[in-house]
Structure 1
Amino acid sequence: METDYILRTKNLTKIYKKKKIIGDININIKKGAVYGLVGRNGAGKSTTMKMIFGLVSPTSGEVNFSDEFQEKPDWRLKVSASFGETSFYRYLSAKENMEVQRKSLKIKDKKKSDEILDLMGLGDVGNKPSGHFSLGMKQRLSLSISLLGEPEFLVLDEPTNGLDPVGIKEIRSMITDLHQKGVTIMISSHLVNELPKIVTDYGFIGKGRLIEEFSSEELKERVKPCIVLKVNDTKSAIDLIIDKLNLSDYRIEDREIKFFTDKSNLNVISKLLAEHEIIIEYIRAEGGDYEDYFIKTMERADEKNSNSDKVDDHDHEENEDA
């Protein structure tokens, strides 16, 4: 069965001052997905998302929405985005900013703006200059503006930036609600442990290159807690652990054994093997933590690309990469 993609990029590239900031990125977002673009600060997340949304022109490559999506009347108005403070006019109030967006989208219902501001907790400060807002309030205003027009494809750049735990939970709930309504969402973040609660698919980005894409189910499988060991007698060790500890979920890679079990079994396995005179070359607990997996993935990617054509991950004039 063919996957129903709403957006795909092809070799998306951005060169700035003769330096390749974004290099040949191929992103695939399924219709109705919550796609998490994950990377360190400066990895190229914002620049990539701005190219997808049309705020930054790629040097080369393509951004392709599905034919089905483009057949919708005024389909471009169904694509919206939140890029934090850059999404609104600082000298206008929250209500005035919403009014500008409402008119640009030709929305007749004037009450819609107030309803969204109330929903985002900005109803009481709607008449205050947005430039004086706290970081969290600015983030809420940016999100409010992006929700006008009932978008079907929503780009959210670090939407929980500057929010307290209560605010983060509220935004997470909002994203879940939009997802349930069929909205396709692309969200960037470096807070890896927050994303599994809302994301259906991932793209890991490092130094302007897409490292890999996978589903949330695949990620859960990759971070399963396990005991990793290497011994002098692989077969005997496996047979012993299965027989004595009733642990049968394992994998062998280059004589390295991975038993998928809780980390608390590390000492139990060590003791068992020692009692049966099986020499342990090394044994360690791994998995169970999304952040650890992210860090190790980035480290492997850095090592792989150390001698290749690197992209520049430093700040640049467009100030587009968080």
Structure 2
Amino acid sequence: MSTGFSPHNMLECKGSQELQRFADKKIRPASGSQSAACVAEISALLQLIQGCFPVPASRVIQGGSYVKRTDTQGCSEIDIVLLSDVFASVNHCKKQLREGLETLRENLKRTSHGNSLHSHSFEIMAYYDVLGPTPSTDLKLHLYRKLYLCNDSDEAQLCALALLPYQVDFVKASVVRVKELSRLMIHWFKTSFANTTKENKFRRLPSSYTVELLTIYFWERAEKPLFFSLVQGMRAVLKLLVRYAEIDVVWHRHYHPKFPIFVKVNQKHTRPFILDPVNPTVNVCDTCNAWDEVAHVARLSLLKPLFRGVRAEPPWLFTNDW
């Protein structure tokens, strides 16, 4: 295990003000004309994607860091889910999905877009509209049961696409400062670890969504302050990453604590455990297979100048126990 720290890493900042200047200059998405250019570019690409899709789409769902407003200055992640009634029959839709997405890929290759000095990473998926735009509670519970009983991981992932709007809403509901902390932690994951090599090519670090949920959890545990020190917030998250086996996070906004599927999943869960707040069948920490490396880099990060001499302040005093 090794780190990827550079001399210009944000962990070399000395104090909150210097970190804020770094975040404003290097991490926060651009505003003004560059932001307007991004909006126009993404809108054009969305129209192009829908126009190139070989079957009519009944609805389009958007997700990713750009939609959740946790994107960074250099790059936005945008998830596009194209929903079509053509895929309603699961038995033969996989072949149609492959053919449809391949046609879309070839069409997009023949186009040229990009003038905002900002890269956009698109992930395009397609399926049928399992829930519809305004699903009843019973329909969502039925989907949870289907996901829990599904033995086909590919089909389960496709069905779970219907929950993307609720994931987006969950993250967007947090205050601006939490999104700033999420950006910093996502940037930390991108800049503090050793590059991919032949030896670690199968390493998977936590997803951006996992990082967003972890920062929201800390904000809630700190009693949801509107304003707080980013240094204190980063320190809190890093201290828990060192003790990742203690991560055990569950929300009950979309499913009841006595909901049978939640009870079954919760009884057999392993740590670290962050249950997707909109899907009681998924531990988002399972996307990572390198938690020991995460803890190692977090431990070394806490020794950097940014945290030197820093002690917990209200409302982060609960981190003194770690």
Query: Aligning the two structures, in what range does the TM-score lie when normalised by the shorter sequence?
Result: under 0.3
Task: Give me the TM-score of the superposition, normalised by structure 1.
Answer: 0.23
Which has the larger share of helix? 2
Q: Which has the larger radius of gyration?
A: 1
